[in-house]
Structure 1
Amino acid sequence: MEAPYDRERGRAPGGGDQSGWQGDQHGHPEPRQDPYPPGYDPYAGQQPYPYAPGGHAPGAPDPYGPPHGQAPGGYAGQPYPPPSYGPGHPGPPQGGQGYAGPPEYHPPAYDPGAYDSAGYQGPDDPYLADSYHHDPYAGRDPLAQDPVGDALYDRAAHPPPPSGSVPDPHGLYQQPPPGPHAPDGGRWAPTPAPEPDALSRHLPHGDHAATTEFTGIEGLMNRAGETAGSGPQGQRPGPDDAFAHLFRDQQAGPGQPQAGGGGQPPRQAPEPAPAARPEPQAAAPSGKTSKAAGLLKSSAIMAAGTLVSRVTGFVRQLVLVAALGAAVLGDSYTVAWNLPNMIYILIIGGGLNSVFVPQLVRAMKNDSDGGEAYANRLLTLVMVLLGALVVAAVLAAPLLVRLMSPTFADDPAANEVTVTFTRYFLPTIFFMGVHVVLGQILNARGSFGPMMWTPVLNNIVVIFTFGMFLWVYGTQATSGMGVTTISDEGLRLLGVGTLLGLVVQAVALLPYLRAAGFRARLRFDWRGKGLGKAATMAKWTVLFVLANQVGLIVVTQIATWAGASALEDGHSGAGFIAYSSALLIWQMPQAIITVSLMAALLPRLSRSAADGDTAAVRDDLSHGLRTSAVAIVPIAFAFVALGVPMCTLLFGTAGESGARSFGYVLMAFGVGLIPYSAQYVVLRAFYAYEDTRTPFYNTVIVSATWILLSALSFVLLPARWVVAGIAFGYGVAYAVGVRVAWRRLKSRMRVDLDGARVVRTYIRLAGASVPAAAIGGGAGFLVLRSLGEGAIGSAAALAVGGLLLLAVFYVAARRMRIEELTALVGMVRARLGR
């Protein structure tokens, strides 16, 4: 480009005399003279004023002025250096001078050699990106030149748009400054938005807009870079390519000399601003799919740990029955083991599990230390309370045994063995509490697995203990060991080994806490730190557990009496150990599926409830009920159909009569698993709202119903069927309770709880399970009758009946188009890669 301020053609571009200067070698005609009269300012009234001291911020570069090292009026990226100012070439107005009019424009000389194969490597020209568009200034400047002479850009063949559609060029100075994410106008012009109705009229070669891809300069350059980087020879566009110079501009580094010569100094590359360090943020769910995927992932981790824990728990129960039998000695160990569990849950366990989880979540959200101080205060308080409780319970062990089983308390041998076991087991209360607090701290921090996996260590220790006992004394069937013949060493071995299992279970969580960034410390500054509010809410949970445990105490008394009476009639396996063993099997699906699902869902429910997001609480509640029902409903009917072969296979060491009695109790539990699981899910919504009073009232109703039905079983049924009646009443009581809890929750939230959809899912699942249970149970009964109730016959009956039940249920559910099952099958198939 020639000197933009050259008003005197008799002067050379450098400002000297024209002698020796050959003039315009490219044949450009004489430029036009200044169209503005002296003293006329075309920019008057424009804000900001581009040529006034106040037109821009003091010390800041003039947004309308030239870059550093560039002549005023020049354009960035021009391929020819601007001349210096000199006589006849006025520059910017100096102090004390008036405005001399706008700079005079001199048309540039087009030199095809400037874009030869040597490459154009100078700064980028923002106006060059639009050089192939139709020139809107032809009407204003008849001397304007087309950039190329190729027929592809012939104006006669491709006429410009109608007049009046071209914006005023001065409008460029009136545009607002670009946003922080707008395209860089100093580098490339923005790609115009597609106009399907008009573009096809001006496209060369008759291309149609519907089939033409408008990528803009950015897309062309990206593809050029990919081609250059991926081709075998590093392909570059040839010199005849209309966009070759753009490719060379993109590849040129800052400060490289330009083709075509010239002395323009290279522009300094701006110093890169320090990268902003992003704030750490928790990944938010990206929708229903992400939310369900995250929940299923957490639930899968917990379910895996719970499954292994339950499997090892089965093994533990198997070796217990093998070592102590299904009579009074086995009942004594079971009663002594349940006592610390009942006391722990009664005093503090329910509050820790349900009340303090929302409190921990809120402390992590609101406290500056992420809730660590609150968690340490809670841990210290629990340790102090449980330590004092253990001392008092050990001293009151004989009274506790009498409370649990008057039948054993009246038998001196059974009472002595039961009290001894109880005193060994009561210190486990302390370690249960520590384990739960540490595990809930990890759950609140998003680590769900350790709390579900560490019980496996407990079971392994106890299994090893019973293995040693069997190695020394043999099975109960071979040794005939009972409450009158067991040795003190045997009592000590079982007592210490059982206690050691809980110690290992609690201590095993400490490494996970350190990995999660939590440091456990004793803190006794309890006053005014929020624990009072949690304790106030926990009192209702304690009453809730009390109502539940009252029912368990009554059931234990009835079951121990029924077992002793049935044994006198020649029927073993009808006592409390039968109830506990069947309950262990029956609760396994609940612990693996429902508890794991809700443990992962409870923190999210708590956050939604705290935010007042009723719709999110409803959706999560409905999702939890329907997702758990897909597995819970068919398994409940499977217990009814295959309860006997399950127990004869698992507890064959108790004898055929005792194992069959276990199976009858499991069948009676059966269908009650459905309301039992649903009740657990619904109560979690109350805990999310920090409402512990309603679950207490609901549990009072459940316990009262269960006690009434157990008493009716005690009065109306023979001794060998009393425990089965108690198990059936357990499910009926929870069916009443879930109905009451659902109505109370709906009244509290004042929204529809998606009840119609939930009930429809349960009914359709039950409709698919009934024929499956009938077919599978009938086949299992035939196999068991043919092969006997031994290990082989029981395994064959369970395999045949179970496979038929599963196949019929799946076919029926798919025909009913149960969407929850379809989603579950799709997830499993995706995991398997099919």
Structure 2
Amino acid sequence: MLSRILGFVRDILVAAILGAGPVADAFFIAFKFPNVFRRLFAEGAFNAAFVPLFAGKLEEENGAKVAKAFGEQAFAFLFWVLLALLIVMELSMPWAMRLFAPGFMNDPAKFDLAVHLTRITFPYLLFISLVSLMAGVLNSLNKFAAAAATPVLLNICLIGAILGLTPYLETPGHALAWGLFGAGIIQFIWMFWNAVKNKMGLKLGWPRWNADVKTMVMRIIPGAVGAGIYQINMLVDMIIATLLPTGSISFLFYADRINQLPLGVVGVAVGTALLPMMSRQLRGGDETGAMNSLNRALEFSLLLTLPAAVAYMVIADPIVSILFERKEFVASDTQATAAALFVYALGLPAYVLNKALTPGFFARGNTKTPVKIAAVCMVVNIAFNLLLMGPFLHVGLAMATVISAWVNTLLLAIFLRKNGYLTLDSRLKNRAGRIVGACLVMAAALYGLTLLLQAELVGSQLLRILSLCALVGVGLLSYFASVFLFGAARWSEVKSMMRRQ
């Protein structure tokens, strides 16, 4: 939550100083480029293969020693593969940019700026991927705080860069690019220190091929294909967005940043905690415990995600306007971004549910089924991108993303159920309907208050901020009051689900 709050501060500054123009588009491409590969190499296939194996070794005799040795082998493998990729990409960046941002070629200045900024930001991939591996190690030890704090460091670095470096560099985009580069180094030092503190400091050596590494690689390959398919979706969105009018990339970025608040706080947290937990339960033969963990993760996801999605749809325009509309970010930018946020909100429950459903396969070492599902979703996303980009421009890209996300959710649930990995218990079924009812009460309260605050929402900066705070406060109060009134949750259960156990 602290990371997301600082992220909003960062995005407010970026919107005010960069706006939604060509420099902003170039930086957002440079920002997304290493992050697309990060999700492929670190948060995707690698950790999906590494964490269950590492968590399993912790349960063996001399588990900590055996697990640490395996962690060092994985660390070496990831480091040398990413270093080779980094060198290749730095040398071939102009050609890569022609492939991934073809729309920029019509504007040589924007194209050259995107190449230059991406060369600065791309080393972030190496550092943050190693950070993700060490986070997997600590998460398997039930140490979650250090990894959860790393995005805080990223936002502090970017805020410091845009405020401190902008006056001394060519553009604010350059300041942010160097801020991202520095953030990778700081995040790596932070996680390494925490790993050492927990007696899991991983030493770098030459990669060695043995049975454990072979098993990991064999699990990575289908996982990499699956994660790669998802990243192809992201790249296709990025490529098509460069072909749309200037600002389209920025509109989607700002809308996605707001949408990432519940996804980052709830979805990532659920997936991060669930994978090692289910891996240990299944390793111990506790199928019933694993099924209960999955049901509670789904319940927790719905409890905190559905109200966020409804709120975004009801008050999308005030949120975007009050957060971003100042200086370089004008009213037309607000309308374009709010439209994208409304659509993204429709898919928010699906994004979070996917984070909860996927560990049901990965904890059992099954990476092939999610790959096949991801392939179907890639085709769906590309088809709807091409179909909707013409009439709806950047909003059409958001629509395609949402449709693909819901297809992914439905297919994951169907195949989990078919394989006997998912049975929705009576508590989840009962609570889901009550959560929906609480969301409808909240939506009515928000809509009514929006009508009452029409003048304040377009008044002075202070009045607008206070109005947004009022909307958020009333939304939270009406939702949670309804949740407890309808019996959708009990306070003791909420506290229990929040605990690490």
Q: Which amino acid aligns with 1:738?
A: T
Contact 1:351 1:538 (C-alpha < 8 Å) held by counterparts:
yes
The residue aligned with 2:147 is: 451
* Whole-Å separation in 2 of the counterparts to 1:371 and 1:618: 26
Residue 159 of structure 1 is matched in structure 2 by none
- Specify the alignment match of 2:474 in structure 1: 804
Give 1:650's aligned amino acid.
L
**Does residue 1:559 correspond to 2:253, yes or no?**
no
CA distance in 1, matches of 2:355, 2:429: 16
Structure 2 residue 310 is the aligned partner of structure 1 residue 637: yes
In the alignment, which of 396, 401, 421 is matched to residue 92 of structure 2? 396
2:2 pairs with 1:320: no
Match of 1:88 in 2: none
CA deviation string 1:332-390 (max 9, x = no partner): 10011101111233345412332211111122223632411111111111111111110
Tell me which amino acid in the other structure corresponds to 2:11. Q
Distance 1:801 1:614 in 2: 43
Amino acid at match of 2:78: V
| CA distance in 2: counterparts of 1:808 and 1:522, whole angstroms | 52
Relative to structure 1, the CA distance from residue 354 to residue 773 in structure 2 (aligned partners, 3 Å threshold; closer, same or farther) is same
2:229 counterpart residue number:
547
Q: Does structure 2 conserve the Cα–Cα contact (< 8 Å) formed by 1:458 and 1:501?
A: yes
Q: Do residues 701 (structure 1) and 413 (structure 2) align? A: no
Partner Cα distance (1:495, 1:508) in 2: 20
Question: How far apart, CA to CA, are the structure 1 residues paired with 2:125 and 2:449?
Answer: 45
TM-score (norm 2): 0.92
Q: Percent identity?
A: 22
- The equivalent residue for 1:527 is 209
Partner of 1:50: none
- Counterpart for residue 277 of structure 1: none
C-alpha contact 1:783 1:793 (8 A) present in aligned 2: no
Q: Secondary structure at the match of 2:423?
A: coil
The alignment covers a number of residue pairs equal to 495
Counterpart contact for 1:383–1:430, Cα < 8 Å: yes
Please provide the CA RMSD for this pair.
Answer: 2.4
One-letter amino acid of the structure 1 residue matched with residue 372 of structure 2: Y
Cα separation, 2, equivalents of 1:809 and 1:359: 40
Q: Report 1:195-344 matches (<5 A).
A: 307-344=1-38
Partner SS state of residue 563, structure 1: coil
Alignment correspondent of 1:439? 135
Give the match's secondary structure for 2:395. Answer: helix
Give 1:518's aligned residue: 200
- What is aligned with 1:627? 300
Aligned to 2:334: 659
How far, CA to CA, are the matches of 1:550 and 1:600 in structure 2? 27
Deviation at 1:448, TM superposition (A): 1.2
SS for the counterpart of 1:716 is helix
Alpha-carbon distance in 2 for matches of 1:523, 1:529: 17
Distance 1:489 1:639 in 2: 32
1:577 to 228, 250, 254: 250
Is 1:421 matched up with 2:117? yes
Pick aligned residue for 2:346 from 660, 668, 671:
671
Query: Which residue identity does 2:409 align to in structure 1?
Result: V
Matched to 1:357, the amino acid is V
1:756: how far off? 5.3
Question: What is aligned with 2:401?
Answer: 730
Gaps of 5+ in 1: 1-306, 474-486, 565-572
Look up the SS of the partner of 1:690 in the other structure. coil
Quote how far apart the aligned CAs of 1:758 are: 2.9
1:507 counterpart = 2:189 = yes
Match of 2:81 in 1: 385
With over 3 angstroms needed to count, the CA separation of the structure-2 counterparts of 1:388 and 1:525, relative to structure 1, is: closer
Distance 1:449 1:680 in 2: 19
1:790 Cα offset (Å): 5.5
- CA deviation vs aligned residue, 1:151-179 (integer Å, no higher than 9, x gap): xxxxxxxxxxxxxxxxxxxxxxxxxxxxx
Match of 1:816 among 480, 486, 489: 486
Structure 1 distance, partners of 2:172, 2:407, is 44
Cα distance in structure 2, aligned partners of 1:633 and 1:677:
10
Q: Which amino acid aligns with 1:732?
A: I
Aligned partners of 1:706 and 1:774: how far apart in 2?
Answer: 33
Unaligned runs of 5+ in 2: none
Matched-pair contact (CA < 8 Å) for 2:76–2:207: no
The answer on whether the counterparts of 2:30 and 2:177 sit within 8 Å (CA) in structure 1 is no
Task: Give the TM-score, by structure 1 length.
Answer: 0.56
For residues 480 and 158 of structure 2, the distance between their equivalents in structure 1, rounded to whole angstroms, comes to: 38
Contact 2:431 2:487 in 1 (8 A): no
Partner of 1:279: none
Task: Give the structure with the larger helix fraction.
Answer: 2
Deviation at 1:784, TM superposition (A): 3.4
Match of 1:412 in 2: 108
Q: CA shift at 1:603, angstroms?
A: 1.3
Match of 2:40 in 1: 346
Cα shift at 1:826? 6.8
